[in-house]
Each structure stands twice: as C-alpha cells, then as structure tokens.
Amino acid sequence: MIRLYDTMTREKRSFVALNPQRITMYVCGPTVYGRAHIGNARPAVVFDTLARLIRHEFGANSLVYARNVTDVDDKIINSAREEGVDTSVITERYERFYLDDMGALGVQPPSIAPHATQEIPAMVAMIDRLIELGHAYEAQGHVLFHVPSDPSYGVLSGRDREAMLAGARVEVAPYKRDPADFVLWKPSEEGVVGWDSPWGRGRPGWHIECSAMIRAHLGETIDIHGGGLDLVFPHHENEVAQSRCAHRGIPLARHWVHNGFVDMGAEKMSKSLGNVITVDQLLEAGHRGEVLRLGLLSAHYRSPLPWTEALVAQSKAVLNKWYGTLRDLDLVVSGGTTDEVDPNVEDELADDLNTPGAIAVLNQLNVQLRSYRNDFVHGKSDNFAKQAVAYQRDRFVNSARLLGLLIHTPDEWFRGEGDSSEIEARIAAPTDAKQPRDFPEADRIRDELKAEGVLLEDGPSGTTWRRE
C-alpha cells in the first residue's frame, strides 16, 4: 500500500485511487521561456519516480499522467519582444530544450502534455461558468475570481487573509472588488498574443490554465495533484478554489503532493535571484544525467536539497560502485532470471516515496553482491549458488530501475559517450603478435590516457577501461 503525505490534510495517508485501472495524476510543468535549472528538474524527477512506483504497484497501463506546458505568459511575451520574434519561437525552443534535459535525467514522457495555447476554449468555458455561478466578474476587460465568494478559500495553504494577501503579492487595481481577487482573463494589447472571448481579445491568467486542462483531460476530481512547494500558494490554492466553485463543491484532487526546494547555499534556487545552475550546464560540464538524477533523489522529496559539488561527486561514486559490481558479476553469472524487485526497496518507496531509504537498501544489496562475487573468485561457490546470485543481481537492477537508475549496461556506463574505437586502438598498440609486449610504451599510453580521464584496469579477462 502506497502512503503519501497530503498537503491538504497535513498528514501521511494511504493512497486510495478513485479507479485503480485509471489513476490520474497532474503535475505543473514548465513555463517555457528559459533553460531549466536543477531546481526545476526536481519535480520532474520526483513525480517520474512516483509514476514508476504507481505503474509497478497497479499495472503498466494504470496511470494517466498529465504534465502541462505553459506556453503563454508575460515572461514569454517579454522574451519574444526582446528578441523581436513570435512567442512560438521562444516556446518551441525552450520546450525542446526542456524535454532534452529531462530526458537526459531519465524522466519518461507523461501520458498527456497539454499546452495552454491549445486549451483556450476549455478555459473560456470554465471562466464563463464561474461568472454564471457568481464566483467571478468582468471589470475593464479583465475577468477576476472573487475570493470572498468561496468560504473555503485558504484550506490548502492554511493561511489567514493577511498572510494570503502578502504571499500573493496582489496587484493593486481599482477594478478589483477585493484585494485578494485574482485574474482569470486579461486583455491583450495590439501586437501581443491573444484570443477572442466574450470579454474581448485577451489571454488567460496562469491559475485558470491548470484547472481547465485538468477538467478537459482527467476529469473534475483527480487522484494526485503535484508540484513544487512554491506552488502551494497562490497557484494551487487558486486552482482549488476555481475548480471547487465551478464544480459545485467537488474537490479538485484527493491527494496534494509537493516537493521541497533545491537550494544553493542558504537560498532557494531561483532565476529571479540569479543563483541557478541549469541542467544543460551540468551536462556540458561532463556530469552524467543518471548522476544528477541520483543526486536529486538522495534527499526525501519533501525536504530541502542543498545542491553541492560534493553531492554530485558522491552520487557518481555510488553509481560507479553499483555498476562496478554488475560488471564483475557479469563475468560469472547471466541475467534475465526475474522481473521481481527487492521488497525492502519497494516498501521504502511506498512509504511516502522515501528515496533515501530505498538508496540505502540498494547500497546494502550492493555490498552483499560484492561478497558473493568474492566467493566466486575464491572458488567458494558452485553452479547452484551462481543461479541464486544471478537472481539477486536481477532484483538489484530491477529495484534500482524503479528509481530510474542502473539504466545502462556496465560497459556503457564506464566507457561513457562518444567513439571508443580510438581508445581501443591505443590500448592495443603496444601489443604485437610477433614481438614481446612493449611495457614502457604500454605504461606511457596508460599515463597518457589517465591524463585524459581514461583509466585502465587489469583483470582476469584482460585490460578494461573506463572514463573517470
């Protein structure tokens, strides 16, 4: 049984799906106007891991996972204006970058990726309904949600009115009936992207986008709504109010799940603060996507995650150990014996997605596998033992893949990306079938390759190599 911390009830609860054959999850995706930083990557990795767990527990086709793309926004408009291009140029460019970066981190595509610009009719329909039911009003070309019309407003964040006003950084506007009222529709001036509507040419506010897309693709009530902790208020609070009022009291989501911040030093990583490091910068620096993924999963998803060079180095060292064990075992046992996962890993993940606990179990399993491998080396194991170890090896790999890890073969991992033929030729060069091995030349090449980040390792099966 999966248990998840629910932001709404402020407690860890058993996850019970409305329909176990069609579990619905919506996660707020990117606003595509710039490169994703490592903090932006955390929710993508966290909810990808949750999606893997749900599909493991309930079946491969059990989950409908929607992650939206916000492709109309003031930041996008400003970026397009600065470059002198259409907004679509900006959004298509950065959506492509986002998908490439997340793919490098092992994030699988969602089931549905609705784009705000393609869902305008659904947004207009929901806004119209909110006006009809007395929860929204038109004023000077704007349509605003009237917060006092919803007595339950604030239930998700638990904030009082003064805290909500401060947290929302509300726009002071004379056309508002209440300072807390927020925009559902805003006018678009000449030359700015917009659509025709009953209230004039304009564009949607951010909050209505998600409510309308959820309703259109997943239904009035979904099983899980996810996103970063910074979205609890005002974005998700406003989603809750809009959807509840439009659907006459029906709740938007049964579980609200939020990940904590990634920080640089003592501050939350933020583009506005200028203290960000982007995923592509980390990849270009030579860090493997799987290393970054392990780093993002190394802390509990609800806890803050300090992003440091030490964290990246530690994550790389862990994966080197795991892949090293698999490489050594591949010399004595074969795979393909089982599709099972270790129950202790499964239990840790089912307990509010406890990835640090799951990683600790994987480390223990790795130690056990190393000891089995040593038994083989010293002739302490028979064929029956080899079969048992092959089974344990496969469970180890399957368990890691539940976290999106150990997705490569050991050879792929240690040799890295790029053409390896040149390295292979240099290693083989000192050996001539007609002449004794040229040891000084071999040592020179070994030192040369080491300086280039390629390490040679001698073993029973000959000389192998790996990239640092």
The ranges assigned to domains in the chain are 3-268, 309-413, 418-467
d(CA 468, CA 416): 9
pLDDT band at 388 (very low <50, low <70, confident <90, very high): confident
Q: What is the DSSP letter of 9?
A: T
3-class SS at 132? helix
pLDDT higher at 315 or 170: 315
Q: How far is CA 272 from CA 37, 104, 265, 275, in A?
A: 12, 25, 16, 8
HSE of 119, CA atoms in CB hemisphere, 13 A: 27
Looking at residue 42, its pLDDT comes to: 98
Strands 63-67 and 136-139: unpaired
Which tens digit of pLDDT belongs to each residue from 322-342?
999 999 988 777 777 899 999
Q: How far is CA 381 from CA 115, 367, 374, in A?
A: 57, 17, 9
Question: pTM value?
Answer: 0.89
Q: Is the pLDDT of residue 163 over 90?
A: no
Structure tokens at 354: 């406890």
The CATH homologous superfamily for domain 3-268 is: HUPs (3.40.50.620)
d(CA 88, CA 305): 34
Average of pLDDT values for 265-289?
Answer: 83
Percentage of the chain beyond pLDDT 90 is: 76
Average of pLDDT values for 447-460?
Answer: 61
Looking at residue 434, its pLDDT comes to: 43
Looking at residue 387, its pLDDT comes to: 84
Strands 3-6 and 462-467: unpaired
d(CA 58, CA 62): 6
Name the least confident of 156-160, 242-246, 294-298, 449-453: 449-453
Q: Is the pLDDT of residue 444 over 80?
A: no
Q: Is the pLDDT of residue 95 over 80?
A: yes
Looking at residue 424, its pLDDT comes to: 55
Q: Is the pLDDT of residue 68 over 60?
A: yes
| CA 75 and chain centroid, separation | 22
d(CA 458, CA 161): 68
- DSSP labels for 289-330? HHHHHHHHHSS-TTS-EE--HHHHHHHHHHHHHHHHHHHHHT
pLDDT higher at 461 or 74: 74
Name the least confident of 28-42, 419-433, 454-468: 419-433
Contacts of 237 (CB under 8 A, 6+ apart): 153, 154, 156, 157, 159, 164
Q: Are 71 and 115 in contact (CB under 8 A)?
A: yes
Q: Are 229 and 259 in contact (CB under 8 A)?
A: yes
Which tens digit of pLDDT belongs to each residue from 193-237?
999 999 999 999 999 999 999 999 999 999 999 999 999 999 999
Looking at residue 449, its pLDDT comes to: 66
pLDDT higher at 363 or 426: 363
pLDDT band at 267 (very low <50, low <70, confident <90, very high): low
**Closest C-alpha among 212, 210, 202 to residue 231:** 210
Average of pLDDT values for 153-179?
Answer: 80
Which tens digit of pLDDT belongs to each residue from 339-384?
999 999 999 999 999 999 999 999 999 999 998 877 665 566 666 6
Looking at residue 433, its pLDDT comes to: 43
Topology of the domain comprising 309-413: Four Helix Bundle (Hemerythrin (Met), subunit A) (1.20.120)
* CB atoms closer than 10 angstroms to residue 374: 12
pLDDT higher at 264 or 11: 11
Contacts of 411 (CB under 8 A, 6+ apart): 327
User: Degrees (nearest 5) of the Cα angle 384, 389, 390?
Assistant: 95
Contacts of 336 (CB under 8 A, 6+ apart): 394
**Rg value, the chain, Cα:** 27
Q: Is the pLDDT of residue 107 over 60?
A: yes
d(CA 71, CA 190): 19
Taking the C-alpha atoms of 89, 90, 95 and 97 in order, what is their torsion angle to the nearest 10 degrees? 100
Residue length of the chain: 468
Looking at residue 448, its pLDDT comes to: 59
Looking at residue 59, its pLDDT comes to: 98
- DSSP labels for 97-124? HHHHHHHHTTPPPPSB--BGGG-HHHHH
pLDDT higher at 260 or 429: 260
d(CA 156, CA 9): 8
In the block, tokens 């290393």 appear at 291
